[in-house]
Amino acid sequence: MLNKRLAGFTPVFVFLLLMVNYIASAQQVKLTSFEPGAIWKDNNGVHINAHGGGILYQKGVYYWYGEHKVEGDAGNRAMVGVHCYSSRDLYNWKDEGIALKVSQDSTSDIAKGCILERPKVVYNKKTRKYVMWFHLELRGQGYKAARTGLAISDKATGPFNFVKSYRPNPGIMPYYPAGTPVSEQLNCKDTKNESETFFCRDLPGGQMARDMTVFVDDDGKAYHIFSSEENATLHIAELNDTYTGHTGKFVRVYPDQATEAPAIFKHNGVYYLIGSGTTGWAPNPARLLSSPSIWGPWTYQGNPCRGDGAKITFGGQSTHILPVAGKKDAFIFMADKWTPKNAIDGRYIWLPIKFEDGTMVIEWKDKWTLADIK
């Protein structure tokens, strides 16, 4: 029938029409599985552009926020902003556009060309606002600024309005649970290692905040987890009731061990925190810590990955742990496979988490579905 309708048109026009029809048909194919590390196309047939991302689940819809990369020599500089996608099944994603745009004003903290990494969005039920936190480096300063940035929106898809950037908890010492020996508490008059020296150096102006995530607990309390002290130590810092600022209560986790790329979740009353070592863009073994309380004590559990590629986290680096809505004990490990020479080609490694012998395990799968999570 189509061939009869095309009779009388020039060969070039027919070819173009057939190509358009082919592309449109290809875009309508629905995905029904995950293929870690493969090109992952959105509803427009374009590789998803949401690197270092996190996911918010709201009213039956998942929203994926991540760094928008560009072609060319921009490297890790933010030339566009934070991209947003939506999905109801986690396999197929709709492009929702740029949720937070970088500024064309060269004096803005998020001026075009800044470094804007690992955006995470949470919803505040009290204010009915969507709150985005991200790691920010000021334009032209490399990784010197080490700030956290805040943006807010009335809608999940944005637009998000930039509010401020700063270093958290200026002039405040860490929190220690009752009974912590004085010898184990940081003392700026007698620092014991390099990371403590960095902490005390930065105390007046606030602590460095680089790779990060945000976690909302069962009781609605939110926490900002970030690499600090020149990436030597992780901080877990409590956010206020509106999720728009820090309360001043925070702990130092796995001090002086150089951990970045934090991702956190809670299972059966236990907190699990996954991170990586600091080897730049090159992958390294994932590291797992666990604790019965958000405030610790946190215990190092080794590398949760198993099998071929485990020593380099299957070529990726952690960014987020996603609880699957409607499935008990179902969590997805999300990681980025960075390609610094062509950042826009960065791939996504999503793998199911399983629990064995009182801890969590991540194993490689070439292809899998949500039904594989038990």
What pLDDT score does 1 carry?
A: 45
Q: Model confidence at 7, in pLDDT bands (50, 70, 90)?
A: low
What pLDDT score does 11 carry?
A: 62
Q: What is the average per-residue pLDDT within 104-127? A: 98
Check pLDDT > 90 for residue 73: no
Q: Model confidence at 74, in pLDDT bands (50, 70, 90)?
A: confident
Q: Model confidence at 25, in pLDDT bands (50, 70, 90)?
A: very low
What pLDDT score does 358 carry?
A: 86
Question: pLDDT of 163-205, one tens digit each?
Answer: 999 999 999 999 999 999 999 999 999 999 999 999 999 999 9
What pLDDT score does 16 carry?
A: 53
Q: What is the average per-residue pLDDT within 242-248? A: 98
Q: What is the average per-residue pLDDT within 42-50? A: 98
Check pLDDT > 90 for residue 158: yes
**What is the CATH class of 36-166?**
mainly beta
What pLDDT score does 6 carry?
A: 47
Each domain of the chain, given as residue ranges in start order, spans 36-166
| 3-state secondary structure labels for all residues of the chain | CHHHHHCCCCHHHHHHHHHHHHHHHHHCCCCCCECCCCCCECCCCCECCCEEEEEEEECCEEEEEEECCCCCCCCCCCCCEEEEEEECCCCCCEEEEEEEECECCCCCCCECCCEEEEEEEEEECCCCEEEEEEEEECCCCCCCCCEEEEEEECCCCCCCEEEEEECCCCCCCCCCCCCCCHHHCCCCCCCCCHHHHHHHHHCCCCCCCCCEEEEECCCCCEEEEEEECCCCEEEEEEECCCCCCEEEEEEEECCCCCCEEEEEEEECCEEEEEEECCCCCCCCCEEEEEECCCCCCCEEEECCEECCCHHHHHHCEEEEEEECCCCCCCEEEEEEECCHHHHHHCEEEEEEEEEECCEEEEECCCCECHHHCC
